[in-house]
Amino acid sequence: MIPKMSSPSYNRSDLSSQGHILLQLLLDVMAGPQFKLGDPSTYIGYRDCCDQLGLITPGMDVPWGRLLQQNGLNDLNDWTVRHKLPAVSGIIVNVSGERAWYPGGDYFKSHGRPDPDFDWWKQEVANAAKFNWNTYI
């Protein structure tokens, strides 16, 4: 029997291992005591995400968002779009620059949203925080 697209086991199996590891990291961040919904300064930065995933080597200085995209972020975004799940990667934000405390523009683009669409982003983060991810991890 071919599993249906809406089956959680099927959804789980078509997420890459890197995407799955990133999803687990984001769920851990949202479950942590520092996370406060609606306060992006309590979310996780792109560099910190790369660091926690073990992607950084000594002296490395690269565009952290691009590195993360190559190591599970694009997979996770595609998977959430494909299965109509909350855009959980919205808790990954820039921690400096003119877009400090907001996700990069590719976050919006990957979900078919105009850059920036802050109201949609805030709602997606709220949806992700309330969503029961247990069947997907």
The rounded distance, in Å, linking the Cα atoms of 4 and 29 is 30
The model's confidence at residue 37, banded by pLDDT at 50, 70 and 90, is very high
Q: What is the DSSP string of 119-137?
A: HHHHHHHHHHHHS--GGG-
Q: Categorize the per-residue pLDDT at 9 as very low, low, confident or very high, splitting at 50, 70 and 90.
A: very low
Q: Is 29 left (phi over 0), alpha (psi -120 to 50) or beta?
A: alpha
CA 40 to each of CA 66, 84, 100: distance values in angstroms, whole numbers, following the listed order: 20, 23, 9
b/e per residue, 70-92, with b = 16+ CB within 10 A?
ebbbbbbbbbbeebebbbbbbbb
pLDDT reading at 49 higher than 90: yes
Asked whether the beta carbons of 77 and 107 are under 8 A apart, the reply is yes
Which positions ≥6 away from 98 have C-beta within 8 Å?
none
Over the stretch 52-81, which tens digit does the pLDDT of each residue have? 999 999 988 899 999 999 999 999 999 999
Query: Mean pLDDT, the chain, as a whole number?
Result: 91
Q: Is the pLDDT of residue 4 over 90?
A: no
Q: Is the pLDDT of residue 5 over 90?
A: no
pLDDT > 90 in the chain, percent: 84
Is the pTM higher than 0.75?
yes
CB atoms within 10 A of CB 27: 19
CB atoms within 10 A of CB 119: 8
